[in-house]
Structure 1
Amino acid sequence: MPSSIRSGLVVGPSLTIPRAELTERFSRSSGPGGQGVNTTDSRVELSWDVGRSAVLSRVQRERILARTGHRLVDGVLTVTASEHREQRRNRDAAAPGLAALVADAVAPPGPRRRATRRTRGSQEHRLKAKKQRSATKRMRSSRPSRDD
């Protein structure tokens, strides 16, 4: 077990995922590896059941489910690491990936955008550019143009 998740995976100051809630699976990795690529289970899948986690508040759970819904399979969030040839290095790489993913999902939303109006100059510039583009296309056509 990597030292970063021996007792639990620290996501932020207020959230640590207990080791008991994390599941690791190993499989054969694709890509370079020489003769050992077909015999070594170096690919690591680190999974966490978001739906059954005891450490999440209701708000945190809702945010994670809403923001990572496309990555969840039956409420389980999985991160895969296979960029290294060694299982140990892939295990060390998977933990920060899951922590970063959860930290982004749990973070509160940013400030709302205040609606503003376009300036008169920007509107005039846009309309002038549209007329210029229209005139250019009109010049290319073989039909006679109508004058504005």
Structure 2
Amino acid sequence: MTRHRYPIQAQDVEFTAIRAQGAGGQNVNKVSSAVHLRFDIHASALPEPVRERLLGLRDHRITTAGIIVIKAQSSRNQAQNRLEALARLQEMIDRAGDIPEIRRSTRPTQGARRRRQQEKTGRSALKQLRAKVTEG
């Protein structure tokens, strides 16, 4: 089992059992096996930088109030759907826990600039040769 840097606290997560969508007949119509997981980012025990990166993620599952809503319904079993929803939330938190590498701006080398300029000059000369010849 992999260790997570920011494990989810049980008190931070709220589960709601709902009926699953789609085909499945009688089982789907009468059994609430799908799960809605709600995770309030602001009220969680996560460190502040991780919370800020979570709120900054462009993800449709994060509401404007800062609540992550994950729906799991792939299994016929409610317990498995709960585990799947928790795994998806943990993956989202782990993604936000990764500190993005800051890009250092670089400049083209002098040789690269010289080659580019020579290429432009050559292309310009080629285009000049395509022009109409004037009597002069």
TM-score (norm: length of structure 2): 0.70
In 1, the alpha carbon distance for the partners of 2:21 and 2:104 equals 44
Counterpart of 1:34 in structure 2 is 25
Give, in whole Å, the separation in 2 of the partners of 1:116 and 1:84: 53
Q: Which moved more, 1:108-117 or 1:21-30?
A: 108-117
Letter of the 2:101 counterpart: G
User: Which of the two has higher C-alpha Rg?
Assistant: 2
Partner of 1:51: 42
The answer to whether the aligner puts 1:65 opposite 2:65 as a matched pair is no
Render the CA deviation track for 1:12-65: whole Å, top value 9, x for unaligned. 23x222101100011111123232111111111111110112x22221221111
Deviations 1:74-106 (A, max 9, x none): 111121111122222211211111100111012
CA RMSD of aligned residues (A): 3.2
Identity %: 30
Aligned counterpart in structure 2 of residue 106 of structure 1, from 77, 93, 97 = 97
Distance in 2 between residues matched to 1:88 and 1:42, nearest whole Å = 8
Instruction: After the TM superposition, list the runs of 4 or more consecutive aligned residues in structure 1 that deviate by more than 4 angstroms.
Output: none
Within 2, Cα distance between the matches of 1:52 and 1:114?
A: 37
SS class of match (2:89): helix
Higher strand proportion, which one?
Answer: 1
Per the alignment, residue 67 of structure 2 pairs with 76
Alpha-carbon spacing, 1:11–1:103, altered in 2? closer, same or farther (3 Å): farther
Corresponding residue to 1:20 among 11, 17, 40 = 11
